[in-house]
Amino acid sequence: MTAYERVKAARDKKRSTSLDFIGGVFEDFLEMHGDRRFADDKAIVSGIAYLGDTPVTVIGIEKGHTIRERSMRNFGSSHPEGYRKALRQMKLAEKFGRPVICFVDTSGAYCGIGAEERGQGQAIAENMMEMMTLKTPIISVIIGEGGSGGALGLAVANEVWMLENSTYSVISPEGCASILWKDSGRASEAAECLKLTAQDLFELKIIDKIIAESDMMVDGLRSELISAIDKYKSMQAEELTNQRYNRFRVIGN
């Protein structure tokens, strides 16, 4: 598949969403609502669940499937209160010693006037800062689109994984082509230049694992997550935060 074909696959309306993965991978998921400041952003779902025998905090950017669901979820583009809701759950996870697992699927954070007025950039930056020092394991899985700061707000983790047909990029191919060449029709060319596929990013050591997409994907993902969480359980808080910090410091070396 070409890079742009993978972009189209990542955007496919039939693709599994965060709630699909949460329902398949975890047990006894209990959703928690609201950021305790402004509202409950439905573009981000969060709560507690069991991964095997381990209680975890799960956070996911949700696009929905039908037109009604997608409209209600703002097509997976979160407002600042969504990121603040996620951060509230992460701080609770730290307090009670629960690992954090994030599912990322967004074309980007919402850029409307209201979102900017309520501090969209600050909310994302605060998440990134707090996640870097969170004293509990964090694993982020990009399951569809990983777009710009909207994805980074849930992707500062000990490990970042991608499904094989997902994408992770600072900008969409169409946006890149429009800026560089004033022609969004060159999106396919831009996609190749952006190195946004899981295969490219694994080679560049920006992500840590590629999850194969198959009929057994959910079972495989559950096993991989259990193994990863078991590995990090034995690490002290300082080891966790140092590992996370060093992971990002070596990118680009």
Global confidence as pTM: 0.94
Closest CA to 186 of 175, 201, 197, 200: 175
pLDDT of 56 reads: 98
Count of residues for the chain? 253
Task: Count the Cβ atoms, other than its own, within 10 Å of residue 82.
Answer: 34
Q: How far out from the chain centre does Cα 207 lie?
A: 12
pLDDT of 216 reads: 83
Residue 251 lies in a domain: no
Find out whether 42 and 60 touch, Cβ atoms under 8 Å.
no
- Range of the structural domain that residue 132 is part of: 3-241
Structure tokens at 166: 């997902």
Closest CA to 12 of 111, 128, 105, 101: 105
3-state helix/strand/coil string of 111-175: CCHHHHHCCHHHHHHHHHHHHHHCCCCEEEEEEEEEEHHHHHCCCCCCEEEEECCCEEECCCHHH
Residue 44 lies in a domain: yes
The number of distinct structural domains making up the chain is 1
Q: How distant, in Å, are the alpha carbons of 2, 80, 132, 153 from that of 125?
A: 32, 11, 11, 7
Residue 167 lies in a domain: yes
Residue 82 lies in a domain: yes
pLDDT of 206 reads: 94
Residue 101 DSSP symbol: E
| Distance from C-alpha of 18 to C-alpha of 143, rounded to nearest angstrom | 8
Residue 119 lies in a domain: yes
pLDDT of 251 reads: 87
* Per-residue tens of pLDDT for the chain, all 253 residues: 899 999 999 999 899 999 999 999 999 999 999 999 999 999 999 999 999 999 999 999 999 999 999 999 999 999 999 999 999 999 999 999 999 999 999 999 999 999 999 999 999 999 999 999 999 999 999 999 999 999 999 999 999 999 999 999 999 999 999 999 999 899 999 999 999 999 999 999 999 999 999 888 899 999 999 999 999 988 999 999 999 999 999 887 7
Torsion angle, alpha carbons of 232, 106, 120, 155, to 10:
20
| Distance from C-alpha of 105 to C-alpha of 24, rounded to nearest angstrom | 17
Task: Count the Cβ atoms, other than its own, within 10 Å of residue 49.
Answer: 20
pLDDT of 92 reads: 97
Q: How far out from the chain centre does Cα 96 lie?
A: 22
pLDDT of 223 reads: 93
Residue 103 lies in a domain: yes
Q: What is the CATH number of the domain that holds 110?
A: 3.90.226.10
Residue 97 lies in a domain: yes
Find out whether 213 and 165 touch, Cβ atoms under 8 Å.
yes
| Distance from C-alpha of 102 to C-alpha of 141, rounded to nearest angstrom | 6
pLDDT of 204 reads: 93
Residue 163 lies in a domain: yes
pLDDT of 233 reads: 87
Q: How distant, in Å, are the alpha carbons of 6, 25, 177, 241 from that of 45?
A: 25, 15, 32, 25
pLDDT of 170 reads: 94
Q: What is the DSSP string of 24-51?
A: HH-EEEEEE---SSS---TTEEEEEEEE
